[in-house]
Each structure stands twice: as structure tokens, then as C-alpha cells.
Structure 1
Amino acid sequence: MSIDYSGRIIAELSLAGFSAIPGYGLYRLIFHFSCQVNESNNGKYIVRGLIAQVSAGRSHDKTKLLGKAIPERPIVIQTFPHSHRNSISFYLDLTPAQIEALEEVRKGEDLFFCFDMKGEGYKDDQHWEAWDQLTIPVNRKTWTDVLRQIGYADFLLFEIPVPHSNSPAELKNAIASLEKARDHFLAGSYDDTVANCRKSLESIEKGLNEETAQKEAVRHYQRNRDEMSKEERQLFLREALKRYTHLAHHTSETGANFRFDRAEANMVMGVTAALVSHAMQRIRNFVGPSVSKE
């Protein structure tokens, strides 16, 4: 991006870094720019009051308005007989809903931010509107790192429980698989998200020694679902979810692969996390299942 006047380039901006911090009910994205101010021997050029409208999307030519980026401190770009370099930063405050909307659009791919920057330029008694655009590509690894910085994963619709020191190894494995599922989700690998949720569910079965009870709950559902106990219904839910997650490794009758999208992966991850949390609570309370049999 360059700021010019009558064809003369006064300053050139390039992205130097990208960071983020969480706040109360918002996330602050910070764009750090390096500003190369060119020399001028025929008068002093001054640009001040820079502000930017920011849009974002999966490609540079398909973006939607995101918000207004504000300088962290007042910016004055001024030329001298020698060139020099400045550092300037803009911040953009986003709500959790906006971050979620970006994630829905991104679908695990890269993001593009478009800065429509404007300011006021002065030279002697002349005044003009300084304007230019800058497109900033952010690859998915960098964006995933930013999501971690702001704690976005902590605000997904579930919490990952902390294993008790006396928890069976299989339940600890269930939590480890759930953590991997979350990492894959942030990276946009939704099939891998679901696959790790399946591993987590299988670890719960083994950790609680409920493989037989879970199968019996399915049989009871087939025989007389109305008489199922609360515990049986939960076991049935776990089995149904496990069967649903198997789709990631199966093909349909037409030979097409089943693929999970973001919403489906989020659903699976949320229910899996709830089942893992409940299993951990039962371990703490030393409560086991009570599957009735006919």
C-alpha cells in the first residue's frame, strides 16, 4: 500500500505483524505496519488522521464489511529531506459473534483482510484526501494461532474437563482425544475432529467398563424404549453418537464419501464433551451405571 500525491509516493505501508488480545465481551485484533516514508526535497508533505474500514473474506475479491480499524495512537506521517521508517498499529474490536461468522466463512481455510484506508494530506497551503487499499492475506496457521491467543477455543460451546488423578487411563485418553478434536476443529479439519470424538467415546466405554451395558441399552430401546431408565437413555445416546461418527470412514451406496461440515463437527464435539464431563463426574462420585434388563 502506498500513500501518494499527484503521482508522488510519499509513504509505503506493509504488514509487519498481527496479534490479538481478549477483552470483556470482545476480541481485539492488532495489525502492526511498517511505514517507509520517502525523502522529499521540494517541500514538506504531511498525512494525518488515518483510519480504515476493514472487510474480510475467503478471497481478496469476495469480502464483507467487518468494522473500523483505529490507530493505537495518533498518526502523523511527515516527509523530510531524508527517508525514514515508522511503526504504526491499528486495532479492530470484534464481538464473539463476528469471530464466529469469520470462522463460518473461513471453513478452515485462509482469510483475507482488506484495509480501505483514508486520511488527510497537506503540502504548504494545499489539502487533499489520502486514500489507498491494502489486502492482507492471513494463512490458516497464523489465524489459528490468533484464535488461541484470544482464547477462542475456550468459548466454544463446551468445556474440556480436567482428569482426576485417580481417573482410569482410558478416561484420560478420552480427554486427550477430545483435545485433539478441538485442535482439528480450529484448523478446519472437520472429519478428523469427528474421528477423534469417536476415539473419545470409545475410551469412555472402556474406562467405565460399559461396552456390554451400552449394547444392552440399544436392545432395550429396540424392545421397549418407553421403559428405558435415564441411565439407559444416556448409554443409548452415547452409542448413537458413536455410530454417527463412524460415517467419517464409510462410503454411501453410490461410493461417495461422507464428509462432515463445521456445524456437524461442532455438534459432535459438544455432545462428546458433555458425555466425557459426565463420565468424569461419575468417577469423582463413585457412581456406576444401572442398566436394567428384562
Structure 2
Amino acid sequence: MSFSFTTGRTATECRVQGASGRRLLGGYELIFNIQIRTAAHERSHDKLSIREWQASVNCGRKGAGMRPLGTAIPQSSTIVQTYDFENTANVALSIELTPGKLAELEQIRNGDDVDFQLNLSAIAHGWVEELSVQPGNANARTRVREQAQPMHDSIDHTIRLTEWTQILEQMDYQRTMVFSLVFPARPGGDQFVSAHRLLEQAREQLLRGHYEPVVSLCRKVMDSLVASSGEKEIVRAAASKYRESRETRESMTKRERALFLQEAARHYTHLAHHVNEQDGAPEWYSRGDATFCLALASAALSESVARQAAGLDAPTSDGAHEGASP
């Protein structure tokens, strides 16, 4: 690609020389190294000074559409100038990525290469010639004045799988695999309102860094789900079916297995309500413990709300559905 200043006056040719990444506090940074080759100017007043670099970045897969990623800005104030000889300069443009945005980008990439489109822009300062005619003087004179002109162009760049893997390593991404946790919307009826309110409280406690209350509130979420759905005996039956024998365990339905997992999570959170019998101290919970419980509680509520919206009755202890005809 190239920038041009005024009619037919080529200023620069730009290409992506490479990309890199690094870990930030609470996120990541993707850095594009832009190589800029400037042609030699013939006259002194043909020189250019180009600054205020930035790029609007889109990403995706070719043939599947591109999606906006954000704006990449220079890591430092960079001014590219032309000289009476050909010159090459580099501009590093970086874009901050939240964990959620990088996780979505990984989903789009789907284990393959990833394509980027950089809509590059800058402001070029140069000199232009214009004719000046004085009143009463038939002879026109040429004068030179400074002018600032926006410049735009687009670069398509593909980061191959091997290079992208290196970038993820630079970001320490493998150490913090991030998955989106979508909180269920507020239930339409009254059945799960209490569970939803408790889940929101747990989320707020996680944001404040109070991890023991998160675990305790998640326990209450699952207790509320069982109470409001009338599935207490169903949950016990699912747990018994798991313990009874290999045959009954393997015959469990998806719903029964989900209820068994919900009961196991409820058992895991039980210690948040008690103290250690040896020294009387409360159990300690890490952020990882809290997010684990929050994910399970959110999934349990989401499924209950979805089943309610679909009009599905709770399964009975024999695996059938309440209200279903024999």
C-alpha cells in the first residue's frame, strides 16, 4: 500500500513487517510493526513530515467476514520524515485486548491462521505550490505554503498459525485460558427470582475480591433452585442412582447427571457455612474456587430458566417427566 500527498506525489509505501504480543495487567497487547519506506524527494520543499499514526483494525477469516477489533495507536510519538535519499522507518501500533476479546478472537480463528485488516491513517505535513496573482499585476507568481493533509490506506495481513502461537506464548495466554461466562437474564416469572438475586450478589462479591461470600452465596443459589423447582427428591434419586451400581450410573439421563453435578457442587460449597473442626477457623477459598462455584451456579440457573421457558417439567425419580402421559 502507499500514501500519497497531493496529486501524484507518492510519500510512503507501508507493509506489516510482523506482530508480537505481551501481557498487560488485566489483559493483553497485540503489536503490529509497520515498515514505512519513503522515497527520496527531489526538491527541498518536497519533504514531508508524517505523524499521528493509528489504525482501525478488523479481524476474522477471509471469506467469512471481518469484525471490528479496535483502534491501534503508536507505542511512542513517531514522526516519519522524507529526505533527499530513500529511507525506511518503523512504527509500532498496539491494540489492547481484554481477556474476553482475545477469547472471542481465538474462537473465530478456530485453530487456524487469522486475518487482519489495518485501515491506516496519519497526518502528513508538507509544502504545496500555488499561483498568486497580485492586483494590477498580470504576472502570476508561485508561492509555497505549508499544508497538513490526512492520509488513508488499508493493509491486509495474515498471521500464520506458527507466528500466532508465538504471540500467544508472549502474552502468557496459555496460563490464563479465558472463557465467556454469560449470566442468565432475569427470569420472566417469579419461580427463580430469588436464585437470580443471589447469583447477582455472588458476582458483586467476586468483583470486590470477597471469595468466601461468593462460595456461600453460590450454595444458596443451588438451594434456592432445588426449593423453587420442587426437585429435592429428584436430586436425591439422581445421587442414589449414581452410587447404586455401574449399570444405574450409566443409565442416567443428561438431566439426572446435571442434577447430580449440581448436588456435588452444593456439597463442595458446604464448608463455606462452617468452621474447621480442628482449629475452629473458617475454610479459606481462593479466587479460583470462587469463580469455579460461580460458573457452576450460573450454569445451573441458566438450565433451570431455559427448561422453564421451554415448558419442560422436572424429571421424576424413574427418569420420566412429571405431567407426561405414560
Report the alpha carbon displacement of residue 38 of structure 1 after superposing the two structures with TM. 0.9
Q: Which residue of 1 aligns with 2:154?
A: 133
Counterpart of 2:163, as a letter, is T
> Against the structure 1 CA distance between its residues 116 and 60, is the aligned structure 2 distance closer, same or farther, given a 3 Å change threshold?
farther
Superposed CA deviations along residues 215-236 of structure 1, whole A, max 9, x for unmatched, are 99422436999xxxxxxx79xx
2:13 corresponds to 1:21: no
* Structure 1 runs not aligned, ≥5 long: 159-213, 226-232, 238-294
Whole-Å Cα distance in 2 between the matches of residues 40 and 105 of structure 1?
44
2:109 corresponds to 1:88: no
Contact 2:118–2:155 (8 Å) recurs in 1: yes
Give 3-state SS (helix, strand or coil) of 1:136's partner: strand
Whole-Å Cα distance in 2 between the matches of residues 99 and 121 of structure 1?
33
Give 3-state SS (helix, strand or coil) of 1:40's partner: coil
Contact 2:100–2:178 (8 Å) recurs in 1: no
* Structure 2 runs not aligned, ≥5 long: 128-145, 180-241, 254-259, 265-326
2:7 corresponds to 1:4: no
Give 3-state SS (helix, strand or coil) of 2:111's partner: coil
Q: Which residue of 1 aligns with 2:249?
A: 221
Report the alpha carbon displacement of residue 126 of structure 1 after superposing the two structures with TM. 2.5
Report the alpha carbon displacement of residue 103 of structure 1 after superposing the two structures with TM. 1.2
Q: Which residue of 1 aligns with 2:69?
A: 66
Q: How many residues align?
A: 176
> Against the structure 1 CA distance between its residues 122 and 218, is the aligned structure 2 distance closer, same or farther, given a 3 Å change threshold?
same
Superposed CA deviations along residues 252-278 of structure 1, whole A, max 9, x for unmatched, are xxxxxxxxxxxxxxxxxxxxxxxxxxx
Counterpart of 2:72, as a letter, is A
Whole-Å Cα distance in 2 between the matches of residues 121 and 113 of structure 1?
25
Report the alpha carbon displacement of residue 61 of structure 1 after superposing the two structures with TM. 7.5
User: What TM-score do you get using the length of structure 1 for normalisation?
Assistant: 0.53
User: What TM-score do you get using the length of structure 2 for normalisation?
Assistant: 0.49
Q: Which residue of 2 aligns with 1:57?
A: 60
Whole-Å Cα distance in 1 between the matches of residues 160 and 28 of structure 2?
19
Contact 1:3–1:9 (8 Å) recurs in 2: yes
Whole-Å Cα distance in 2 between the matches of residues 224 and 133 of structure 1?
56
Report the alpha carbon displacement of residue 156 of structure 1 after superposing the two structures with TM. 2.1
Q: Which residue of 2 aligns with 1:174?
A: none
Whole-Å Cα distance in 2 between the matches of residues 72 and 223 of structure 1?
59
- Name the larger-Rg structure: 2
Superposed CA deviations along residues 80-122 of structure 1, whole A, max 9, x for unmatched, are 1111111221111000111111111111121111111111122
Contact 1:58–1:105 (8 Å) recurs in 2: yes
> Against the structure 1 CA distance between its residues 217 and 33, is the aligned structure 2 distance closer, same or farther, given a 3 Å change threshold?
farther
Counterpart of 2:147, as a letter, is Q
Contact 2:15–2:35 (8 Å) recurs in 1: yes
Superposed CA deviations along residues 64-89 of structure 1, whole A, max 9, x for unmatched, are 11111011111212111111111221
Give 3-state SS (helix, strand or coil) of 1:119's partner: strand
> Against the structure 1 CA distance between its residues 224 and 26, is the aligned structure 2 distance closer, same or farther, given a 3 Å change threshold?
closer
Whole-Å Cα distance in 2 between the matches of residues 54 and 224 of structure 1?
49
Whole-Å Cα distance in 2 between the matches of residues 131 and 104 of structure 1?
30
Counterpart of 2:174, as a letter, is A
Contact 2:75–2:92 (8 Å) recurs in 1: yes
2:108 corresponds to 1:105: yes
Aligned sequence identity (%): 25
Give 3-state SS (helix, strand or coil) of 1:127's partner: strand
Give 3-state SS (helix, strand or coil) of 1:59's partner: coil
Report the alpha carbon displacement of residue 150 of structure 1 after superposing the two structures with TM. 1.1
Whole-Å Cα distance in 2 between the matches of residues 38 and 19 of structure 1?
27
- Larger helix proportion of the pair: 1
Q: Which residue of 2 aligns with 1:32?
A: 33
> Against the structure 1 CA distance between its residues 222 and 15, is the aligned structure 2 distance closer, same or farther, given a 3 Å change threshold?
closer
Whole-Å Cα distance in 1 between the matches of residues 88 and 161 of structure 2?
29
Counterpart of 1:218, as a letter, is R
Whole-Å Cα distance in 2 between the matches of residues 131 and 151 of structure 1?
34
Contact 1:34–1:85 (8 Å) recurs in 2: yes
Give 3-state SS (helix, strand or coil) of 1:153's partner: helix
Q: Which residue of 1 aligns with 2:316?
A: none
Contact 1:3–1:10 (8 Å) recurs in 2: yes
Report the alpha carbon displacement of residue 30 of structure 1 after superposing the two structures with TM. 1.0
Report the alpha carbon displacement of residue 157 of structure 1 after superposing the two structures with TM. 5.9
